[in-house]
Amino acid sequence: MGKVHVFDHPLIQHKLSYIREEKTGTKEFRELVDEVGMLMAYEVTRDLELQDVEIDTPVTKMTAKRLAGKKMAVVPILRAGLGMTDGVLKLIPAARVGHIGLYRDPETLQPVEYFAKLPQDIEERDFIVVDPMLATGGSAIEAINSLKKRGATKIRFMCLIAAPEGVELLKEAHPDVDIYIAALDEKLNDHGYIVPGLGDAGDRLFGTK
Ligand code: PRP
Ligand code: URA
């Protein structure tokens, strides 16, 4: 069963409080989402494999540790996932980036895929799917379905804020996927928005309405 990790790091909680606030404008919102994306990536990559390498320090030879050449890919769910992507890439700059475009049908709240472009060597890569919001769970489930259909086997999901309903459905649909969350909120409202949440992540990131 995939694990659910909820971050309690003070820096993440501090920044998240500004991200949530209604009066935070687009520029600051974007910067903060980027920073939290980077901080979360530090934890999400904690179990990456290391290998021994022989190096010379100015003083002596030693056996040091380096990443075992693991091939990584970050996959933002469009649009709002884009806001977390650069933060993750600051820590793993060699990662490939795939894109999956989904929107929620406003009537049914069901996700509809409108775009998918992924790296070619899918089977060999470790994927981190990023999206600020896990609400009903539909978008994350569908994005991961889409990745698996194309051959991905090792997938993590990372978001800023999740509703308990979405976490349960995602765990059920993809029990092999570890879920990383900065805050687990109270519930969903009748429109499928997370309460207390942060509002519409895409609109707040891109200044649309
Ligand atoms: C938001 C958010 C998630 C989705 C979460 O995207 O970025 O992708 O909703 O909701 P769910 O868990 O109920 O599926 P939205 O559909 O608003 O599209 P956007 O990013 O283009 O604004
Ligand atoms: N999508 C958002 O952008 N916000 C929510 O609260 C739920 C889904």
104 alpha carbon to ligand 1 midpoint, in Å? 6
Answer whether residue 2 shows pLDDT above 70.
yes
Residue 200 known to be catalytic: yes
Residue 57 known to be catalytic: no
d(CA 126, CA 52): 21
Which of 176, 186, 106 is CA-nearest to residue 145? 176
How confident is the model over 19-29, as pLDDT tens digits?
A: 999 999 999 99
Domains of the chain, each with CATH number or no CATH: 4-206 (3.40.50.2020)
How confident is the model over 58-101, as pLDDT tens digits?
A: 999 999 999 887 799 999 999 999 999 999 999 999 899 999 99
pTM for the predicted model, two decimal places = 0.95
Looking at residue 151, its amino acid is G
Q: Tell me if 133 CB under 6 Å of ligand 1.
A: yes
Going by the DSSP 8-state scheme, the letter that residue 149 receives in this structure is H
Structure tokens at 22: 């209604």
How confident is the model over 34-58, as pLDDT tens digits?
A: 999 999 999 999 988 899 999 999 9
